[in-house]
Every structure is written in C-alpha cells, then in structure tokens.
C-alpha cells in the first residue's frame, strides 16, 4: 500500500539534503500520515482512513462528510 492520503491523495515530495560543504544528496519529504477511524452517520458505520494531519484538521473543523463532498467536487475518487 502506498504512502498516500486517502482523501486528498497527498504523497511524498523529493528534494535535496545539504551538507555543511553544500554537497547535495536526494531525499524524500514524507507526508505525516495518521491512521484514524471515523464515524459516518449517513451510512451508520465506522471507516478507517489514512489521512495527513492537514486533512485531519480540516475534518475536525468541517466534518467528514463535508470534506468528502469537497474532495469529490474537485474530482478525487474516494473509496470509503
């Protein structure tokens, strides 16, 4: 299973690690994924999702159903 956000699809970014001598080596900036269980009252069931902390803050603020609707409006395919 890939390290991606289930809702937004966020994934790792690449960049460079820089030494004191300014030598550059490739590295990955992984996303801060958390595995969380959410309750969907519309379907009366619990769902386990891998989400980033940024998405988790949006869910806490707006609610899971609102975040899912917004993601679907942007064209993301969500298998909940």
Q: What is the CATH number of the domain that holds 19?
A: 2.30.170.40
6 inside domain: no
Domain hosting 68: range is 13-73
17 inside domain: yes
- Per residue in 14-30, pLDDT (tens digit) is 999 999 999 999 999 99
- Per residue in 20-77, pLDDT (tens digit) is 999 999 999 999 999 999 999 889 999 999 999 999 999 999 999 999 999 989 888 7
pTM score, two decimals? 0.82
Residues 6 or more apart whose Cβ sits within 8 Å of residue 41:
65
3 inside domain: no
Residue 54 three-state SS: helix
Report d(CA 25, CA 73) in Å as an integer.
Answer: 39
8 inside domain: no
80 inside domain: no
Q: Tell me which residue of 68, 72, 50 sits closest to 59, measured CA to CA.
A: 68
How many domains does the chain divide into? Answer: 1
């Amino acid at each position: 299973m890939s390290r991606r956000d289930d809702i937004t699809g966020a994934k790792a970014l690449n960049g460079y690690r820089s030494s004191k001598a300014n030598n550059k080596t490739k590295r990955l900036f992984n996303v801060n994924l958390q595995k969380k269980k959410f309750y969907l009252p519309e379907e009366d069931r619990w769902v386990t999702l891998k989400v980033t902390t940024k998405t988790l803050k949006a869910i806490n603020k707006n609610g899971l159903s609102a975040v899912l609707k917004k993601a679907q409006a942007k064209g993301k395919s969500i298998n909940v």
